[in-house]
Amino acid sequence: MTVATAQPRHRIRPRVAPWAFLAPAIVLFTLFLVLPIGYAIYLSFVGLRVQGGAFGTRQQVFVGFENYINALTDPELVASLGRLATFGFISVPITLGGALLVALLLDLPRVRFARFSRTAIFLPYAVPGVIATLLWGFMYLPTTSPINYVLSAIGWPTINFLGAQGIFGSLANIAVWASLGFNMIVLYTALRSIPVEVYEAARLDGASEWQIARLIKIPLLAPALLLTLIFSLIGTLQAYSEPTTLKSMSNSISNSFFPLMKVYRDAFGVDNVSGAAAMSVVLALGTLAVSVVLLRVLQRRTFEGTR
Protein backbone atom coordinates (compact mmCIF):
# COMPACT_ATOMS: atom_id res chain seq x y z
CA MET A 1 0.00 0.00 0.00
CA THR A 2 1.53 3.23 -1.05
CA VAL A 3 0.89 6.50 0.67
CA ALA A 4 0.62 9.52 -1.57
CA THR A 5 3.04 12.21 -0.51
CA ALA A 6 1.82 15.80 -0.60
CA GLN A 7 3.58 17.92 -3.11
CA PRO A 8 5.22 21.01 -1.58
CA ARG A 9 3.42 24.16 -2.48
CA HIS A 10 5.26 26.80 -4.37
CA ARG A 11 6.72 29.48 -2.11
CA ILE A 12 6.50 32.22 -4.65
CA ARG A 13 3.68 34.18 -3.08
CA PRO A 14 5.37 34.74 0.31
CA ARG A 15 8.41 36.09 -1.53
CA VAL A 16 6.43 38.28 -3.90
CA ALA A 17 4.04 39.71 -1.31
CA PRO A 18 6.55 42.11 0.36
CA TRP A 19 7.66 43.46 -3.01
CA ALA A 20 4.04 43.91 -4.06
CA PHE A 21 3.40 46.03 -0.98
CA LEU A 22 6.61 47.99 -1.54
CA ALA A 23 6.05 48.48 -5.28
CA PRO A 24 4.01 51.74 -5.06
CA ALA A 25 6.58 53.35 -2.75
CA ILE A 26 9.47 52.13 -4.93
CA VAL A 27 7.82 53.49 -8.09
CA LEU A 28 7.14 56.89 -6.52
CA PHE A 29 10.63 57.01 -5.01
CA THR A 30 12.17 56.24 -8.40
CA LEU A 31 10.01 58.64 -10.40
CA PHE A 32 10.20 61.63 -8.08
CA LEU A 33 13.62 61.25 -6.46
CA VAL A 34 16.02 58.88 -8.20
CA LEU A 35 15.29 59.95 -11.79
CA PRO A 36 15.31 63.71 -11.08
CA ILE A 37 18.59 63.41 -9.20
CA GLY A 38 20.09 61.34 -12.00
CA TYR A 39 18.89 63.82 -14.63
CA ALA A 40 20.30 66.75 -12.66
CA ILE A 41 23.68 65.00 -12.44
CA TYR A 42 23.56 64.34 -16.18
CA LEU A 43 22.77 67.99 -16.92
CA SER A 44 25.68 69.11 -14.75
CA PHE A 45 28.14 67.36 -17.09
CA VAL A 46 26.77 68.71 -20.38
CA GLY A 47 26.52 72.11 -21.97
CA LEU A 48 24.95 73.76 -24.98
CA ARG A 49 27.28 74.37 -27.91
CA VAL A 50 26.54 75.77 -31.37
CA GLN A 51 27.20 73.18 -34.07
CA GLY A 52 27.59 74.12 -37.73
CA GLY A 53 28.91 77.68 -37.68
CA ALA A 54 27.35 80.92 -36.54
CA PHE A 55 23.88 79.89 -37.76
CA GLY A 56 24.12 76.29 -36.59
CA THR A 57 21.97 74.48 -34.09
CA ARG A 58 22.53 74.32 -30.35
CA GLN A 59 23.29 70.82 -29.11
CA GLN A 60 24.18 69.31 -25.77
CA VAL A 61 27.79 68.15 -25.57
CA PHE A 62 29.80 66.61 -22.75
CA VAL A 63 31.87 69.29 -21.00
CA GLY A 64 33.22 67.31 -18.04
CA PHE A 65 33.68 69.31 -14.84
CA GLU A 66 33.49 72.69 -16.57
CA ASN A 67 30.13 73.53 -14.99
CA TYR A 68 31.41 72.58 -11.54
CA ILE A 69 34.52 74.73 -11.93
CA ASN A 70 32.38 77.66 -13.05
CA ALA A 71 30.02 77.14 -10.12
CA LEU A 72 32.76 76.95 -7.50
CA THR A 73 34.51 80.03 -8.87
CA ASP A 74 31.34 82.07 -9.38
CA PRO A 75 31.61 85.20 -7.17
CA GLU A 76 27.82 85.46 -6.98
CA LEU A 77 27.54 81.94 -5.54
CA VAL A 78 30.32 82.63 -3.04
CA ALA A 79 28.59 85.84 -1.96
CA SER A 80 25.23 84.08 -1.63
CA LEU A 81 26.86 81.38 0.52
CA GLY A 82 28.27 84.11 2.75
CA ARG A 83 24.83 85.67 3.17
CA LEU A 84 23.39 82.22 3.87
CA ALA A 85 26.05 81.63 6.53
CA THR A 86 25.14 84.94 8.20
CA PHE A 87 21.48 83.94 8.15
CA GLY A 88 22.33 80.51 9.60
CA PHE A 89 24.55 81.92 12.38
CA ILE A 90 21.57 83.98 13.55
CA SER A 91 18.67 81.56 13.08
CA VAL A 92 20.12 78.14 13.99
CA PRO A 93 21.45 78.92 17.51
CA ILE A 94 18.32 80.87 18.44
CA THR A 95 16.06 78.09 17.14
CA LEU A 96 17.87 75.30 18.97
CA GLY A 97 18.41 77.32 22.13
CA GLY A 98 14.80 78.44 22.25
CA ALA A 99 13.48 74.95 21.54
CA LEU A 100 15.69 73.47 24.27
CA LEU A 101 14.62 76.10 26.79
CA VAL A 102 10.93 75.64 26.07
CA ALA A 103 11.21 71.84 26.16
CA LEU A 104 12.97 71.96 29.55
CA LEU A 105 10.37 74.35 30.95
CA LEU A 106 7.49 72.18 29.75
CA ASP A 107 9.14 69.12 31.32
CA LEU A 108 9.24 70.65 34.79
CA PRO A 109 7.08 68.90 37.37
CA ARG A 110 3.69 70.45 38.10
CA VAL A 111 3.94 72.85 35.16
CA ARG A 112 0.60 74.40 34.22
CA PHE A 113 -1.00 74.56 30.79
CA ALA A 114 1.68 72.28 29.32
CA ARG A 115 -0.60 70.82 26.63
CA PHE A 116 -1.91 74.22 25.55
CA SER A 117 1.61 75.66 25.49
CA ARG A 118 2.93 72.81 23.34
CA THR A 119 0.10 73.27 20.85
CA ALA A 120 0.47 77.05 20.71
CA ILE A 121 4.23 76.88 20.16
CA PHE A 122 3.91 74.14 17.53
CA LEU A 123 1.14 75.85 15.51
CA PRO A 124 3.45 78.22 13.52
CA TYR A 125 5.15 75.14 12.03
CA ALA A 126 1.83 74.26 10.36
CA VAL A 127 1.64 77.63 8.60
CA PRO A 128 3.03 77.50 5.01
CA GLY A 129 6.24 79.42 4.57
CA VAL A 130 4.87 81.84 1.98
CA ILE A 131 1.90 82.77 4.18
CA ALA A 132 4.13 83.19 7.23
CA THR A 133 6.48 85.44 5.26
CA LEU A 134 3.59 87.58 4.01
CA LEU A 135 2.25 87.93 7.55
CA TRP A 136 5.60 89.05 8.88
CA GLY A 137 6.22 91.16 5.78
CA PHE A 138 3.26 93.38 6.60
CA MET A 139 4.66 93.73 10.12
CA TYR A 140 8.00 94.79 8.63
CA LEU A 141 6.68 97.36 6.14
CA PRO A 142 7.16 100.92 7.45
CA THR A 143 3.59 101.91 6.60
CA THR A 144 1.90 98.92 8.25
CA SER A 145 4.36 97.84 10.97
CA PRO A 146 2.73 97.90 14.43
CA ILE A 147 6.19 97.72 15.96
CA ASN A 148 7.31 100.96 14.32
CA TYR A 149 3.95 102.52 15.18
CA VAL A 150 4.52 101.86 18.88
CA LEU A 151 8.13 103.06 18.67
CA SER A 152 7.01 106.29 16.98
CA ALA A 153 4.28 106.80 19.56
CA ILE A 154 6.75 106.69 22.45
CA GLY A 155 9.30 108.82 20.61
CA TRP A 156 11.85 106.11 19.85
CA PRO A 157 13.54 105.70 16.44
CA THR A 158 11.89 103.22 14.10
CA ILE A 159 13.55 100.06 12.77
CA ASN A 160 14.17 99.45 9.08
CA PHE A 161 13.39 95.73 9.07
CA LEU A 162 13.74 95.42 5.29
CA GLY A 163 16.96 97.41 4.91
CA ALA A 164 20.43 96.06 4.28
CA GLN A 165 21.25 95.95 8.01
CA GLY A 166 17.99 94.49 9.24
CA ILE A 167 17.08 92.01 6.51
CA PHE A 168 19.07 89.13 8.03
CA GLY A 169 17.38 89.52 11.39
CA SER A 170 13.98 89.78 9.72
CA LEU A 171 14.52 86.57 7.75
CA ALA A 172 15.94 84.79 10.78
CA ASN A 173 12.92 85.83 12.84
CA ILE A 174 10.58 84.17 10.34
CA ALA A 175 12.67 81.00 10.32
CA VAL A 176 12.82 80.84 14.12
CA TRP A 177 9.08 81.52 14.46
CA ALA A 178 8.25 78.74 12.00
CA SER A 179 10.69 76.02 13.09
CA LEU A 180 11.05 76.43 16.86
CA GLY A 181 7.87 74.46 17.56
CA PHE A 182 8.96 71.43 15.56
CA ASN A 183 12.34 71.26 17.27
CA MET A 184 10.68 71.74 20.64
CA ILE A 185 8.43 68.73 20.01
CA VAL A 186 11.44 66.57 19.09
CA LEU A 187 13.33 67.56 22.23
CA TYR A 188 10.29 67.31 24.48
CA THR A 189 9.55 63.81 23.19
CA ALA A 190 13.14 62.80 23.90
CA LEU A 191 12.83 64.19 27.42
CA ARG A 192 9.66 62.20 28.08
CA SER A 193 11.49 59.01 27.09
CA ILE A 194 14.02 59.40 29.92
CA PRO A 195 13.11 57.13 32.87
CA VAL A 196 11.50 59.05 35.74
CA GLU A 197 13.57 57.06 38.23
CA VAL A 198 16.67 59.00 37.13
CA TYR A 199 15.07 62.29 38.17
CA GLU A 200 13.71 60.85 41.43
CA ALA A 201 17.14 59.57 42.41
CA ALA A 202 18.69 62.96 41.68
CA ARG A 203 16.04 64.75 43.76
CA LEU A 204 16.63 62.35 46.67
CA ASP A 205 20.31 63.30 46.50
CA GLY A 206 19.31 66.97 46.86
CA ALA A 207 19.73 68.09 43.24
CA SER A 208 17.76 71.16 42.17
CA GLU A 209 15.75 71.35 38.96
CA TRP A 210 18.51 73.47 37.39
CA GLN A 211 21.14 70.85 38.29
CA ILE A 212 18.92 68.07 36.92
CA ALA A 213 18.47 69.95 33.66
CA ARG A 214 22.18 70.79 33.33
CA LEU A 215 23.72 67.52 34.48
CA ILE A 216 21.12 64.92 33.42
CA LYS A 217 18.61 66.17 30.88
CA ILE A 218 20.86 68.10 28.50
CA PRO A 219 23.58 65.37 28.30
CA LEU A 220 20.93 62.72 27.63
CA LEU A 221 19.42 64.98 24.96
CA ALA A 222 22.65 65.00 22.91
CA PRO A 223 21.31 62.67 20.15
CA ALA A 224 18.07 64.64 19.84
CA LEU A 225 19.96 67.94 19.85
CA LEU A 226 22.22 66.73 17.08
CA LEU A 227 19.20 65.55 15.10
CA THR A 228 17.53 68.95 15.40
CA LEU A 229 20.82 70.60 14.47
CA ILE A 230 20.96 68.56 11.25
CA PHE A 231 17.34 69.44 10.48
CA SER A 232 18.06 73.13 11.09
CA LEU A 233 21.18 73.14 8.91
CA ILE A 234 19.35 71.41 6.06
CA GLY A 235 16.48 73.87 6.40
CA THR A 236 18.96 76.76 6.31
CA LEU A 237 20.60 75.47 3.13
CA GLN A 238 17.14 75.13 1.57
CA ALA A 239 16.08 78.70 2.42
CA TYR A 240 14.18 80.01 -0.58
CA SER A 241 10.53 80.91 -0.03
CA GLU A 242 11.15 83.53 2.68
CA PRO A 243 13.61 85.76 0.78
CA THR A 244 11.76 85.23 -2.50
CA THR A 245 8.48 86.37 -0.95
CA LEU A 246 10.09 89.36 0.78
CA LYS A 247 11.92 90.37 -2.40
CA SER A 248 8.96 92.41 -3.62
CA MET A 249 8.99 94.36 -0.34
CA SER A 250 12.73 94.94 0.03
CA ASN A 251 15.35 96.30 -2.33
CA SER A 252 18.05 94.59 -0.25
CA ILE A 253 17.15 91.14 -1.61
CA SER A 254 18.48 90.34 -5.08
CA ASN A 255 17.74 87.43 -7.40
CA SER A 256 20.88 85.70 -6.13
CA PHE A 257 20.54 86.59 -2.44
CA PHE A 258 20.66 82.93 -1.35
CA PRO A 259 22.13 79.97 -3.30
CA LEU A 260 18.78 78.41 -4.22
CA MET A 261 17.57 81.77 -5.52
CA LYS A 262 20.63 81.91 -7.77
CA VAL A 263 20.01 78.34 -8.93
CA TYR A 264 16.43 79.23 -9.87
CA ARG A 265 17.50 82.42 -11.64
CA ASP A 266 20.22 80.69 -13.65
CA ALA A 267 17.96 77.79 -14.62
CA PHE A 268 14.80 79.70 -15.56
CA GLY A 269 15.94 83.31 -15.88
CA VAL A 270 19.12 83.17 -17.96
CA ASP A 271 18.67 79.67 -19.44
CA ASN A 272 21.82 78.25 -17.83
CA VAL A 273 20.29 74.92 -16.85
CA SER A 274 23.59 73.02 -16.78
CA GLY A 275 25.26 75.56 -14.51
CA ALA A 276 22.24 75.54 -12.19
CA ALA A 277 22.34 71.72 -12.09
CA ALA A 278 26.02 71.80 -11.13
CA MET A 279 25.30 74.30 -8.34
CA SER A 280 22.48 72.06 -7.10
CA VAL A 281 24.77 69.04 -6.98
CA VAL A 282 27.43 71.04 -5.12
CA LEU A 283 24.88 72.21 -2.54
CA ALA A 284 23.51 68.68 -2.14
CA LEU A 285 27.00 67.24 -1.63
CA GLY A 286 27.80 69.96 0.90
CA THR A 287 24.61 69.18 2.82
CA LEU A 288 25.43 65.47 2.74
CA ALA A 289 28.97 66.08 3.97
CA VAL A 290 27.81 68.21 6.90
CA SER A 291 25.18 65.62 7.87
CA VAL A 292 27.69 62.75 7.72
CA VAL A 293 30.21 64.64 9.87
CA LEU A 294 27.59 65.44 12.50
CA LEU A 295 26.33 61.85 12.55
CA ARG A 296 29.88 60.56 12.95
CA VAL A 297 30.33 62.92 15.90
CA LEU A 298 27.12 61.57 17.44
CA GLN A 299 28.22 57.95 16.93
CA ARG A 300 31.61 58.66 18.51
CA ARG A 301 30.02 60.37 21.52
CA THR A 302 27.55 57.51 21.91
CA PHE A 303 30.31 54.90 21.69
CA GLU A 304 32.46 56.73 24.23
CA GLY A 305 29.47 57.13 26.55
CA THR A 306 28.71 53.40 26.53
CA ARG A 307 32.27 52.30 27.31
Confidence of residue 120 (pLDDT cuts 50, 70, 90): very high
Residue 10's CB is within 10 A of a number of other CB atoms, namely: 8
* Domain-located, residue 189: yes
Domain with 252 in it: what CATH number?
Answer: 1.10.3720.10
- The residues pairing with 57 across neighbouring beta strands, listed in sequence order, are 51
* Domain-located, residue 6: no
Residue 52's CB is within 10 A of a number of other CB atoms, namely: 9
Q: Does 307 have pLDDT greater than 70?
A: no
The total number of structural domains in the chain stands at 1
SS3 217: helix
* Domain-located, residue 32: no
* Domain-located, residue 250: yes
284 Cβ neighbours under 8 A, 6+ residues apart: none
**Which secondary-structure segment (H or E) carries 238?**
none
* Domain-located, residue 197: yes
Q: Does 12 have pLDDT greater than 80?
A: no
Whole domain around residue 171: which residue ranges? 66-306
Write the pLDDT tens digit of every residue in 162-203: 998 899 999 999 999 999 999 999 999 999 998 889 988 988
Write the pLDDT tens digit of every residue in 266-292: 999 888 899 999 999 999 998 889 888
* Domain-located, residue 10: no
* Domain-located, residue 22: no
What confidence score (pLDDT) does residue 280 get?
93
